[in-house]
Amino acid sequence: MATPGGLIRAARRGTLAQNMVVDRIFSGIQPTGTPHLGNYLGAIQNWVNLQEEYSSVLYSIMDMHSLTMPKEPALLRQNILDTTAAILACGIDPKKCFLFRQSLVPEHAELAWILGCITNVPRLLRLPQWKMKRASQSNGGTVGLLTYPVLQAADILLYKSTHVPVGEDQVLHLELAQDIAQHFNKKYGEFFPVPKAILSTTKKIKSLRDPTVKMSKSDTQKLATVNIVDSPDEIVLKFRKAVTDFTSEVTYDPANRPGVSNLVSIHSAVSGLSIEEVLHQSVGLDTAHYKMVVAESVIQKFAPIRNEIKKLQEDKSHLIQVLEAGAEKAKELATPIYQEIRRLVGFQ
């Protein structure tokens, strides 16, 4: 039989184990269907590397976030499966990370409510995504659109994540998550690690038709965005029509030559070469010929991925099983953390 002293020591060991901070990655992607070139180079390629470097990694299909912009249910269901197929084809391995659908872990939404109760509305109103996206909604913006950065914070903090890979446009949202974690810790005692950013080293990929804005799936110009399932002919056409300038030399000068500099960034990211190495290889090429060099690099990069996506899309039950199995693992990790949060705030 355990002695009182032994029970106390065991309890202390349990507390110490619970308070140990494990380096943990969390990131998510909205289910918009098959990703485009910018998604792949800016996020997914980095995800593949991080699952090799960290022992605790969670990647989520953010279906709850997708409701902030109107979606037909049937389209959302298909987009979830297509996005899952794409990131698996790109190299995400469910044996090396937890890959799951956000809405299958209800603690995300429950924690978002708790965190929303310690977050000031003026802070949310200042976020640029709110100002930008509300303009596209006829009703002036929904509550979900305003508060989804709090849900993002809950996504991260629910697992006591320590590192979050982010792009430049998400830095302010991560700063909000950091502030929320610190506010919670001040109010209820040290509990959440303050998550740190892992910034992508890839230059932001710009639209092929307007190199002053980032590449986007919602771009109305069909030639502006390269999707990873585009055929070789489609990729060649889009790069041939890419906006550059009247100087034929290939140089890297984003401020003064954004179009050709965007091509150099894409070439560098797809090939794994540095900007300097790409420029050295391109000496003597004019921009018209260089566009075809970049197009061929993209075609070669995406050919095996495109074939794997098609194969995975034919087996929907496998995709569903991957997401459900990942959700079960995520729940196992989240449940004890969330139960302690409930105790801290007075729910139990």
Catalytic (active-site) positions: 133, 214, 217
Q: At what angle do helices 316-345 and 107-116 cross, to 10 degrees?
A: 40
CA separation for the pair 142, 8 (Å, rounded): 50
- DSSP letters for 50-113: HHHH-SSEEEEE-HHHHTTS---HHHHHHHHHHHHHHHHHTT--TTTSEEEEGGG-THHHHHHH
CA separation for the pair 207, 223 (Å, rounded): 9
Nearest to 85 by CA among 329, 270, 311, 327: 311
Residues paired with 64 in a beta bridge: none
- DSSP letters for 205-231: PBPSS-TTSB--TT-S-GGG--BTT--
* The Cα angle at residue 287 between residues 285 and 291, in degrees rounded to 5: 100
Q: At what angle do helices 73-89 and 287-313 cross, to 10 degrees?
A: 110
| DSSP structure class, residue 255 | T
Neighbours of 129 (CB within 10 A): 17
CA separation for the pair 146, 289 (Å, rounded): 46
3-state secondary structure of 140: coil
Note whether 290 and 242 are within 8 A (CB). no
Q: Which helix (H) or strand (E) element contains residue 199?
A: strand 196-199
3-state secondary structure of 249: strand
Neighbours of 242 (CB within 10 A): 24
